[in-house]
Structure 1
Amino acid sequence: MVAIKTTTTLRKPPGSCHGGASRACSRQLHQTFMTYCRGHNPSSTFLLANHSCNSRPDHRCRRRLQPLAASLGKDDLPRGTPGTQAENAAAAAAGSSSNESQAAVTTTTPQITPGALWRFSRPHTIWGTAISVVSISLLAFLQHVAAAAADAFLFNAPAPAVPWMPFAATLASALVAALLANVAIVGINQVYDVEIDRINKPELPLAAGEMSVATGKAVSIACAIVALACAAVAGTPSLLATVGASLALGFAYSVDLPFLRWKRNPTLAAACIFGVRAIAVQLGFYDHASVSLARASGWPMVPPPPAAVWFGVCFMTAFSVAIALCKDLPDTAGDAKHGVRTMSVRAGRKGVFRFAVAMLLCTYALAASVIFIAGLGGAFLPVNVVTALAHVALGAVLFLNARRVDADDDGAIKRFYMMVWKLFYAEYFLLPFVYL
């Protein structure tokens, strides 16, 4: 990335630096230098330069700036300023003569770092997307292998080879497209929420000024285009439809255009989130993996999704609604100020928090019951019992953490929200072991 350089011109009042006037000019430059060194972003570099006087005795003014090198301590200069204090002060005094007296302050913004780009991608959503795509694809792979083994047994044929390489290629294409789409969705949200994020999430790169809005928009659009291209190249209509629908819902959630900006409406906001996380991810990526493996094996038909996929759709629908509610809990200050009437703004944080926790606890209890009952009398009873107990344990973790949360404490709510995402990851680790 190329550093962006902006120059602000501070004009001297009418007059020249002859004689006594040079003292006033020197004081003005000293004040300007100190103001910019102490008042601006510590990660920027400040340089006072290009000062000159209207006449030949301008060396008098420059000579008066020499003591800046001695008068400024290390703490007066921002961190990251190249060179020593003496070099910066010397550069400040080394301006050349010109027809118009001026003091120019040149500000060089920090270069965009990999850390800023990583935080721009919202890592917790990146992990959620990656784990969910791997889990659903693995479920399709296990279903394919089981169906192939059943056919071989039924027709007394040799056991088919396990399609490891086709599965790896299928998984890679899905991951690349999904992760790029994820960056595009969370990126465009930060572009249109930059003013809100300066209140709610000042640590984000756009809100903190580490990236410009134009850069964020360019990265988001580029990721969306490449994601669609990768999905198209993969060759399955389901992957292209999944990526396209996810991008459409993500942009509708954030973009401030007529009939869009759905995040203002709690129902539409929740629909966007569970539409992607619960429906598009489960069905779309399963079908992509299943169709790709069937093509690689020369199958004329694709087996229908197993009951575990529909279990994932139902579970993640409830979970996604809870995530949609929890994510707005610490953001009430900025949302209320900018007219975003989330459920937390309308109904209050405590009530929404309790409702979200109750919804998740009921979901875990119902999931554990369904898995256990479905395993009774089946060959996979031990696996189902362990999976059901795992859901009980995750529900207990949720309950114990929720008891310690003060809904009015932003820090506690944010930590709870990130814990909910960890439970989200854990569910996808369990999903391939759900036999219904």
Structure 2
Amino acid sequence: MELSTASSRVSTGLRKGGVSTRLGSQSSRAPSWSHHSGRGSRQGPLRQCPSAPSQACLLLPSRESQRSGSAIDKDSTSSARRGRRTKLGGLGCSGGSISNSDRSSGSRGNVSASASSMSAGGDSGDASSSNQQGATQSLGEKVNSFVQAFWKFVRPHTIRGTLLGTIALTTRALLENPALIDWGLLPKALMGLLALLCGNGFIVGINQIYDVDIDMVNKPFLPVAAGELSPGLAWALCLGLASLGVAIVARNFGPLISALYTFGLLLGTLYSVPPFRLKRSAIAAFLIIATVRGFLLNFGVYYSTRAALGAGFVWSPAITFITTFVTLFAVVIAVTKDLPDVEGDRQNGIETFATRLGVRNTTLAAVGILLANYGAAMVLALVPSMGFRPQVMFTGHALLAAFLIFRARQLELAGYTRNAILAFYQQIWTLFYLEYSMFPFV
């Protein structure tokens, strides 16, 4: 008997028993075979086809199954009458060789199949639970991605500089007036620190909004340029940071500090926002950075700390030194920050010292300014009337100067590649952090 006939009868019998199959469409591809024994053909079990996981194959029956199996005979409706039900997700036959192991693994004439989809109503609850868990994980991932993007948005290296500067200046003011220390002022000090961090975030954030085209070339990892933050969300963050900072300062500090804080935000805006966009001018750019990072931060923090302690402001040698030193250091930062960005700045018409003088000449000029800074600090350490601790002031700045020379030499040997320039710029910030870390003890 031909396989096509047997397949048709199996399909008919299974439909009568409440089972839907797709045998008819596949029977034409199978090889014909005849196996007559007594009354008719005895048909072997169905098995999952290894080469087609979603189909099932009719197998030649083994001799054992022919002798002892419950045959599916010509009238296959007997299976339905006995209530035998078989679930078939997609029954078909695939041509190919049949191994001996396949022939010996018959299941005594029973029809076996595997379904491509066996989910029932009871499984839907598990699926729903899995979907809810996936949605929760997706929300968690979104929150985590936003936090990471926000952290990059506020530029961590500038945040660390503001944080260390504020702590160092506050500590110095407290060490100069130990009898006036009042721990009840700690919440106010923390609010002041938060306001400074908000101002820092606003200035670097608004710069990214207007520098997005340049950053796609120079700093594609920044969140606005990378598409991690939309321009609308970036604007919302900037306005929120500025509003929070102004509100904190107005509520907790006097009119002078409020005016200085607002002035700093204004300079940061003029630096980035058209039609002013003062960053296009190399001189205007470094003057703004030096003013905000140098004078406003150092004077403002020291003044507000002494005012909170009830001590009047005094231009002590220490505060005069750190304000002057950091202002010059901010000039170096303003110059060296453009060293890795020459390509993008030239494409967008941004004039910097690096685009005008070249990377190597600009680097040497920056190193010269810093070495002069360190040399002046070492000289001041030896002047008794200044009241500095020579062992800290002199030795510390000598070590920092030696480190700077070493890093500049490494950059020269590396041939001023972009990666070497980036590493050098990071070390400039390291020197900046170390200066503030040393300041309370000089």
TM bracket (short chain): 0.5 to 0.7
- 1:83 counterpart residue number: none
- 1:122 counterpart residue number: 155
The 5 Å alignment of 1:138-157 reads 138-145=171-178, 148=179
Partner letter of residue 308 of structure 2? S
Q: What's the offset of the Cα at 1:351?
A: 0.7
Identity of aligned residues (%): 36
Q: Give the 3-state SS of the residue equivalent to 1:184 in structure 2.
A: helix
- 1:169 counterpart residue number: 187
2:291 to 254, 271, 275: 275
Matched, 1:241 2:259: yes
- 1:64 counterpart residue number: none
- 2:395 counterpart residue number: 389
Q: What's the offset of the Cα at 1:216?
A: 0.9
1:372-412 Cα shifts (integer Å, max 9, x gaps): 22368x6x6xx332221011001101110110104631111
| Larger-gyration structure (1/2) | 2
**Is the contact between residue 132 and residue 428 of structure 1 (CA under 8 Å) also seen in structure 2?**
yes
Aligned mates of 2:415, 2:254 — CA distance in 1: 45
**Is the contact between residue 350 and residue 407 of structure 1 (CA under 8 Å) also seen in structure 2?**
no
The 5 Å alignment of 1:36-435 reads 111=142, 112-145=145-178, 148=179, 162-166=181-185, 168-257=186-275, 260-294=276-310, 302-374=312-384, 383-405=389-411, 406=414, 408-434=416-442
Partner letter of residue 429 of structure 2? W
Aligned mates of 2:419, 2:265 — CA distance in 1: 30
Q: What's the offset of the Cα at 1:164?
A: 2.5
Q: Give the 3-state SS of the residue equivalent to 1:302 in structure 2.
A: coil
Higher relative contact order (CA 8 A, sep 6+): 1
- 2:35 counterpart residue number: none
Structure 2: unaligned runs, 5 residues or longer: 1-115, 118-137
1:331-378 Cα shifts (integer Å, max 9, x gaps): 0111110010111111111110110011111111111111222368x6
Aligned mates of 1:224, 1:411 — CA distance in 2: 34
**Is the contact between residue 206 and residue 216 of structure 1 (CA under 8 Å) also seen in structure 2?**
yes
Aligned mates of 2:415, 2:265 — CA distance in 1: 32
Q: What's the offset of the Cα at 1:303?
A: 4.2
Q: Give the 3-state SS of the residue equivalent to 2:299 in structure 1.
A: helix
Q: Give the 3-state SS of the residue equivalent to 2:349 in structure 1.
A: coil
1:98-138 Cα shifts (integer Å, max 9, x gaps): xxxxxxxxxx9994521111011100000000110111111
**Is the contact between residue 392 and residue 441 of structure 2 (CA under 8 Å) also seen in structure 1?**
no
TM-score (norm 2): 0.65
Q: Give the 3-state SS of the residue equivalent to 2:383 in structure 1.
A: helix
Aligned mates of 1:417, 1:242 — CA distance in 2: 29
Q: What's the offset of the Cα at 1:431?
A: 1.4
From the superposition, tell whether residues 136 and 242 of structure 1 become closer, same or farther in structure 2 (CA, over 3 Å).
farther
Aligned mates of 2:407, 2:251 — CA distance in 1: 44
Q: Give the 3-state SS of the residue equivalent to 2:234 in structure 1.
A: helix
Partner letter of residue 401 of structure 2? G
Q: What's the offset of the Cα at 1:432?
A: 1.5
Partner letter of residue 124 of structure 1? H
- 1:39 counterpart residue number: none
Structure 1: unaligned runs, 5 residues or longer: 1-85, 88-107, 149-160, 295-300
TM-score (norm 1): 0.66
1:122-159 Cα shifts (integer Å, max 9, x gaps): 000000001101111112222232xx5xxxxxxxxxxx
From the superposition, tell whether residues 198 and 304 of structure 1 become closer, same or farther in structure 2 (CA, over 3 Å).
same
Q: Give the 3-state SS of the residue equivalent to 1:113 in structure 2.
A: helix
Partner letter of residue 404 of structure 2? L
1:165-207 Cα shifts (integer Å, max 9, x gaps): 32x2342122110001111010000000000000000011111
Deviates most, 219-228 or 234-243:
234-243
1:74-119 Cα shifts (integer Å, max 9, x gaps): xxxxxxxxxxxx99xxxxxxxxxxxxxxxxxxxx999452111101
- 2:120 counterpart residue number: none
Aligned mates of 1:310, 1:230 — CA distance in 2: 27
Q: What's the offset of the Cα at 1:238?
A: 3.5
- 2:42 counterpart residue number: none
Q: Give the 3-state SS of the residue equivalent to 1:202 in structure 2.
A: coil
From the superposition, tell whether residues 283 and 251 of structure 1 become closer, same or farther in structure 2 (CA, over 3 Å).
same
**Is the contact between residue 372 and residue 385 of structure 1 (CA under 8 Å) also seen in structure 2?**
no
Aligned mates of 2:181, 2:326 — CA distance in 1: 30
Partner letter of residue 252 of structure 1? L
Q: Give the 3-state SS of the residue equivalent to 2:228 in structure 1.
A: coil
From the superposition, tell whether residues 170 and 391 of structure 1 become closer, same or farther in structure 2 (CA, over 3 Å).
farther
Aligned mates of 2:375, 2:353 — CA distance in 1: 25
Aligned mates of 1:402, 1:408 — CA distance in 2: 10
